[in-house]
Amino acid sequence: MDLRTTQATRMEQGLALLPSMLQSIEVLQLTAADLLGLIDRELQHNETLVAAPPAATEPGGRVTAVRDGPDGKRGFLESVAAPQPSLFEHLIEQLGWLDLSPEVVAGVRTLAERLDPRGLLVESDAELGAVVDAELLPRCIEVLQSLEPRGVGARDSIGAMLLQVHRTDPDFQDIAAMLSEHLEALARNKLPDVARALARPIEEVVALLQRIRSLDPRPGAAFAVDESGLDIRPDVIVRLVGERIEIELDSMTLPDLGISQRYQSMVSNRGTELEVRRYLRDKLRSARELIHAVEQRKRTLARVTLAVMQHQRAFLRDGRAAVRPLRMDVISEQLGLHPSTVSRAIAGKFAQTEHGVFRLRDFFDGERIAEGADGAGRMAVKEQVRALIAGEDPAAPLSDDEIVAQLAAKNVTVARRTVAKYRGELGLQSSWRRRRYPDMPGSTDGTRPRP
């Protein structure tokens, strides 16, 4: 066996991503809220980066310049919204209003820390007794359940709903029975059976059901950290003016970024200490890379959005039902971009149109969903399903098979499972659950229930 060592030269070709390229990729895929957080962190740690509120556009189309100096940065940082209190913080604040012993306060704090994201206390008494004095546990649970939001600290969802109904309420027993004994019948919309079991007229059962629907089985969910869906701000605004598509980036939430002239001058000044100049050069490079990445994000997002809307011109004119299938590689080839770049550009981004606010990804329907529908896409077919259900007779709602038949009459051929899937995505129940009995809201006066 020859164990001699030899040396050889080999050439390889590879792609090394520079830090600036990596940052551009990262910034491109960030949502506006996440980008705002990134800018906020950079402003706090990089004194060479300055910011001012979004520049106002003058009548002639010119944009006012970014102001340098600490005031601009301070103004932006002070304008960043403070985070909402967590459920734990909200509960602990209320404890300060009550006359409780230190031991009970400590026990309630411990229980509040063990609430799940719904605000429920799902651990057993034995498990809780290991962290809270067993003798104080009932009192601590009682105090926790007395706090706002009502229902917090319950052991399950039904318990949370019952905590929101006062025990002296004359309907408490029937509401409790409906939730604990007749929940399956209610879910199947068998209101006559429930009315017979409670020995009450069906109109009274309907009224109780309306009360139950107002109760919250997840009282702590409103304090969840991720509430992005509650306040969607569009990244881009799209308008159809005549036959011209206008794209406007909504940058009102982002500050105008610039370089501090003061620190730039210090780097250029030979009189500045060498270590200070080296330190500031690194900071200036980081600031410039971020500014470049943000500007590149704007340009790419505008180009991709315009290309998408050129393919979806019919949607801009006629609404959801006119959305056409579109593949991501079509846009990437048209713009000369890699498909991953297009994917990052639209990730988490929203477009405001005359027909509402939509995820940019919603306009990429891929292959044709419905044969014979002039290439109808997913959003178009889903909108037709929604429209059919909105116009149905509430006393005799359309089954999925009947929806398939009515779509076929409009030259839209889809499978029944596709209709069921889209109905679920629209938050619409099955036909037997959508049925409205006499004396139910939307049934006696000919009005239709809300879809």
- Residue recorded with tokens 């004194």: 47
Query: Pick from 326, 346, 363: which residue ends a domain?
Result: 363
Both 149 and 245 in one domain: the answer is no
Residue 308: C-alpha distances to residues 65, 255, 351, 375, 447 (Å): 32, 27, 11, 16, 39
Residue 191 falls within a domain, yes or no?
yes
Q: How many CB atoms lie within 10 A of CB 68?
A: 17
306 and 413 both lie in a single domain: no
For the residues 4-25, what does the mean pLDDT come to? Answer: 51
3-state secondary structure of 274: helix
Q: What H or E segment, with its residue span, contains residue 350?
A: strand 350-353
**For range 168-191, the mean pLDDT:** 84
H or E element that contains 245:
strand 244-249
pLDDT digits (tens, 9 = 90+) for 74-113: 554 554 444 566 788 888 888 878 888 889 988 998 898 8
Angle between helices 274-311 and 19-29 (to 10 degrees): 40
Of 12-16, 34-38, 93-97, 394-398, least confident by mean pLDDT is 12-16
Instruction: Encode pLDDT of 406-421 as tens digits.
Output: 888 877 777 888 888 8
What tokens does 248 get? 């406007």
- 106-120, 362-376, 419-433: which is most confident: 106-120
Among 341, 363, 385, give the residue marking a domain's end.
363
Across all residues in the chain, what is the average pLDDT? 77
CA 322, chain centre distance (Å):
25
Residues in the chain: 451
pLDDT band at residue 143, thresholds of 50, 70 and 90? very high
From CA 368, how far away is CA 148, in angstroms rounded? Answer: 50
Q: Does 7 reside within a domain?
A: no
Higher-scoring residue by pLDDT: 59, 51: 51
The band of 307, judged by pLDDT with boundaries at 50, 70 and 90, is very high
Looking at the structure, tell me whether residues 442 and 392 fall in a common domain: yes
Which of 159, 192, 190 has the alpha carbon at shortest distance from 176?
A: 159
Q: Where are the alpha helices (DSSP H) in 238-369?
A: 261-268, 274-311, 313-318, 328-335, 339-346
- Give me the pLDDT at residue 449, please: 38
> What pLDDT shows up at residue 224?
64
- Gap between the Cα atoms of 143 and 444, Å rounded: 44
pLDDT digit string, tens, across residues 269-302: 888 899 988 999 999 999 999 999 989 998 999 9
User: End of a domain among 363, 379, 406?
Assistant: 363
Query: Average pLDDT, stretch 430-451?
Result: 54
Ranking 112-116, 136-140, 300-304, 368-372 by mean pLDDT, the lowest is 368-372
429 vs 189: CA distance, rounded Å = 11
Do the Cβ atoms of 90 and 220 come closer than 8 Å?
A: no
In a domain, 58, yes or no: no
Number of structural domains the chain divides into: 3
Domain that holds residue 304: 234-363
Considering the entire predicted model, what is its pTM?
Answer: 0.51
